Structure 1
Amino acid sequence: MAIVLGPNRYGKAETRVVRVTRDGATHRLKDVNVSVSLSGAMEDVHLTGDNAAVLPTDSQKNTVFAFAKRHGIGAIEDFGLLLARHFVESRPAVGHARVEIHEYGWNRIAGGHSFVRDGGEVRTALVHSGGGAETVVSGLTDLVVLNSTGSEFHGFARDEYTTLEPTDDRVLATAVTARWRHRGTDAAWDASYRAARDALLAAFAGTHSLSLQQTLYQMGRRVLAEQDGICEVRLSMPNKHHFLVDLEPFGMKNDNEVYFAADRPYGLIEGTVLDDGAPAAPSAWN
């Protein structure tokens, strides 16, 4: 039996950076979490313990901070590309750099320097650079949405363990995780993100749903239909179940008004919607 070293990478995970840009009395805030992972000609560190090709993860962390100072942080896709290209171009042993960034939003309260943390979704970006190829995957997590009507679920398969009753009027709620792959690396990232987010919300609100699967597809389809620069959308959507409470013991009728919001267990619906003519890039998502 031959024992060999398989694919490997290493890096600094979750470097949290808050960058304050001061324009006189008015400040702007960027709050991001950056994870870097490098791979390439680094077999010796595993096989013999030779660290000559290894850029310390502490140096990667310091690079993130230094670039935040030197270049500022605009769109997280641009910042990710900047970092990924730097590691590939500056280190001969690095053949591929992966940079993942999560951005946490803040809203201005009053004046020029007071903010409140945005309780909404988290914006994400995943950048790969190396081997003459680059990919950018943008996205979001924890986009919590709910339709209080306009959702049905019936006609499903049944077996001896099925107790769920069909319904033609239910609450449909989910926390969307969506990621979308760009065709290139020169998009207007902020505008593209807003447009993709708006498309997801519009499709969720505008689809009379017969299943969460149907809604998922319509959400991904709308992003692709409205943005030529995006070629693939991947969605993960837990079904946040809302069950009608039995109020009959109290002499009251529950006419789709009072629900118990269950947090677990939950159905988990996942799917991909893509331009069938777009080139495949499986590594872009990992």
Structure 2
Amino acid sequence: MPQRIQSLKDITVHYDVILCDVWGVLHNGVAPFPGAGKALAQARADGATVVLITNSPRPNDSVAVQLDGIGVPRDAWDRIVTSGDVTRGLIRQGPPNVYFLGPDRDLGLLDGTEAFAVKEKDASAIVCTGFFDDETETPEDYRDLLTHFADRNIPMICANPDLIVERGERLIPCAGAMAAFYEQLGGESRIAGKPHHPIYTEALRQATELRGTVDRTRVVAVGDGMPTDVRGAINEGLDLLYISAGIHARDYMTGETTDERALDDFLASHQAEPRWWMPRLV
């Protein structure tokens, strides 16, 4: 069973590289979680390299600005690798005429890819970063649009594999939910972010660039999302620190209290065996 720890400092002696999730671990989309940034900054001071690994569809420099605005300190990380970064490779491999499904603020994802946004009838691929309005919409609102695309065998490139994220006290759907719905309608999706291999390859490449050779047995992944952070760490054979008070907290927490038997049952039901766990990163 996973071991409950009180502080990230309890385990940093075992690791040279920390691959840390962002949304749900460092912040909730509105404000930083107290102590999370300080915990990573202390790990860096103790000699660890911290690579933030996020399913944000935005490029890493845009995420850095977003973290500044939310209040996550810059000394909490060495590098940022985003799903948007690795998704650009998928976009370059596809046709340039794409239907862009997501808010206008994410259009920068196409920069440098030679892809350009077109109307539905002219598209040979979909690039999905999320919903036009994730505060009110669900995938069902896009049934007609996506059915037409699926009937034409148009592939969807999903820039954010997350199904949901916390925004304050609410759970908000993400592009991963759209991709899953598209597959239900018979469409094809292509994904490079967590839990898929390309984003981990890039994160470890950047850690190696900073440190030299990286021993994978001395790499720990930190995250709260079962289908993304947890499954990705398992697929990559990495140790995992599970942040239990994230998006799955309703399955085993009442207020701030964790029912540890319910937590163990939850993890077992997902065939997940993190080495460590704690409610919030501190």
Name the TM-score, length of structure 1 as normaliser. Answer: 0.26
Query: If each structure's strand is expressed as a fraction of its own residues, which one has the higher value?
Result: 1
Larger relative contact order (C-alpha < 8 A, sep ≥ 6)? 2
Query: If each structure's helix is expressed as a fraction of its own residues, which one has the higher value?
Result: 2
Which has the higher Rg, Structure 1 or Structure 2? Answer: 1
Name the TM-score, length of structure 2 as normaliser. Answer: 0.26
